[in-house]
Amino acid sequence: MIRPDSITVGGRTSEQSARAVRYPVRVDRLTRRRGAADSHVMARLETPASTLRDRALVLAAEHGIDPGTWYVRVLEEGRATGEEADLGALVRSYWELQRVTGRADLRDEWRRLADVLWSGDSL
C-alpha cells in the first residue's frame, strides 16, 4: 500500500516524495571556514605556559579547587620539576576555574588553550 507523497508501508520513501524534499537552509552558509581547533590559522599563545600554569595554580587555591585533582597535581609536579606546563592540564584547569567562577576571561583562556592543544602546535 502506497500513500501519496509519503512513506510506503515497508518503510521506504517513494521516489516521488524523495525528489520533492526541499531544505529551507543552505548548509554552505552554516559551515564557514574560520580559524578553529582543527586548522592551522590559529594564533599562537601570547602568554608563556609557565605563567599560565602559575596563574591557574594561584586561582585554584583562591577558589578552593581540590589540590588532589589530577590537573592540579600535574601542574604542581611540573612546576616543582621545572618542566614545561602540561597543555591538557592547563585546559582542564582553566575550564574548571571558569565553571566555578563564571568569569568570561577564563572561558576565553581555556578555549584558546584547547585550540592550541587540538592543532598540535606547541606553546
Residue 104 lies in a domain: yes
Residue 73 lies in a domain: yes
Distance between CA atoms of 120 and 82, rounded to whole angstroms? 22
Residue 40 lies in a domain: no
Residues 80-94 have a mean pLDDT of 92
Residue 41 lies in a domain: no
Q: What is the residue range of 63's domain?
A: 49-119
Residue 105 lies in a domain: yes
pLDDT score of 49: 87
Q: Which of 10-14, 31-35, 87-91, 100-104 has the lowest mean pLDDT?
A: 31-35
Is residue 72 a contact partner of residue 60, using CB atoms and an 8 Å limit?
A: yes
pLDDT score of 38: 45
Query: What is the count of structural domains for the chain?
Result: 1
| pLDDT averaged over every residue in the chain | 76
Residues 22-45 have a mean pLDDT of 50
Residues 82-107 have a mean pLDDT of 92
Residue 96 lies in a domain: yes
Q: With 0.75 as the threshold, say if the pTM is over it.
A: no
Distance between CA atoms of 86 and 71, rounded to whole angstroms? 9
